[in-house]
Amino acid sequence: MKLGLINSAWVQAGRGTSYGIARTRELGFDAIDVFADPLDIDAKERRLIREQAAAAGLPIVSVCCVALGLIDFNPSVQRFHVDRARAYLDMAYDFGARNLLLVLGEYVWQKEVIGPDEQWAAAVKHVRSLGEHADGLGLELAMELEPFRLSLLGDVPSMLRFLQDVDHPAVKANIDISHLVLAGQPPSAIADLRGRVAHVHISDCDGKVHGDLPPGRGVVDFPPYLDAIKDLGIDDATISVELEYSPDPDHIEAWVAEAYEKTAALMRKAGLRP
């Protein structure tokens, strides 16, 4: 498997696009995931990302999209976010990516005003439509499992049910090891998603609160999860390090370098990377 990095680690620390891409390659990563909104960046920035990644020999594997409005109770908001997600898919295609990482969000108002079935149905409808658009571009959707109390996709059973309801071959799951731990999902649960995994995220946490720390900084027992991922037989997929909101942005280079070294060692030990 390839070892990638989500570029938000650099962006949130105030490092420029060119610098972040170049340093990602210099540190040893095989690929990069891009966190950028096509409605916020201009044509020059889009070309810069594409050309700098190519110059560094760093494939853009995934583009990250948070689309909470897909399950908003207002139809106009849903329509906007469908169009926005389509723009993300078009940008991912332009970058030569393999998938769009898609975050759906949470049930609103503690499920007390808007019925949860209504939000679930909206998610299924819109993600199926986006899956069709992705398929036409030769891309996949990688649905994010979020370890929060009211997340639509908050554990492996809900993820599996969602993928079955959407019933489109281009719509798959993203496995986030830290999220699985926070959601109380054991390594054995990963097998339930066999044949339905498009991408993987890795980071550490304290076992209680979402952390996105370099592996080794928290309590996650990575080997059993990596062994379960190996058993899926997705050797052509990428494991991307997620380092959101570094506590010390001035030293982000050391933070990313530490995450690379720790993750590469874990992957080698698991037989996932030379």
Tell me the whole-structure pTM to 2 decimals.
0.96
State residue 261's pLDDT score: 98
Domain of 75, CATH number, reads: 3.20.20.150
Rounded to whole angstroms, how far apart are CA atoms 137 and 131? 10
Please give the mean pLDDT across all residues of the chain: 97
Asked if residue 78 is part of any domain, the answer here is yes
Domain that holds residue 186: 2-269
Asked if residue 265 is part of any domain, the answer here is yes
pLDDT digits (tens, 9 = 90+) for 85-98: 999 999 999 999 99
Asked if residue 48 is part of any domain, the answer here is yes
pLDDT over threshold 90, residue 213: yes
State residue 16's pLDDT score: 86
Would you place residue 34 in the very low, low, confident or very high pLDDT band (cuts 50, 70, 90)? very high
Domain count, the chain: 1
**Cα separation of the two ends of the chain:** 9
State residue 137's pLDDT score: 99
Pull the structure tokens for residue 46.
């889009």
pLDDT digits (tens, 9 = 90+) for 244-261: 888 889 999 999 999 999
State residue 14's pLDDT score: 87
Q: What is the mean pLDDT of residues 222-250?
A: 95
Asked if residue 242 is part of any domain, the answer here is yes
Asked if residue 274 is part of any domain, the answer here is no
Query: Coil, strand or helix: which one is 140?
Result: strand
Q: Give the CA angle between residues 123, 78, 35 to the nearest 5°.
A: 80
pLDDT over threshold 90, residue 100: yes
Nearest partner of 68 among 18, 104, 14, 108, judged by Cα: 104
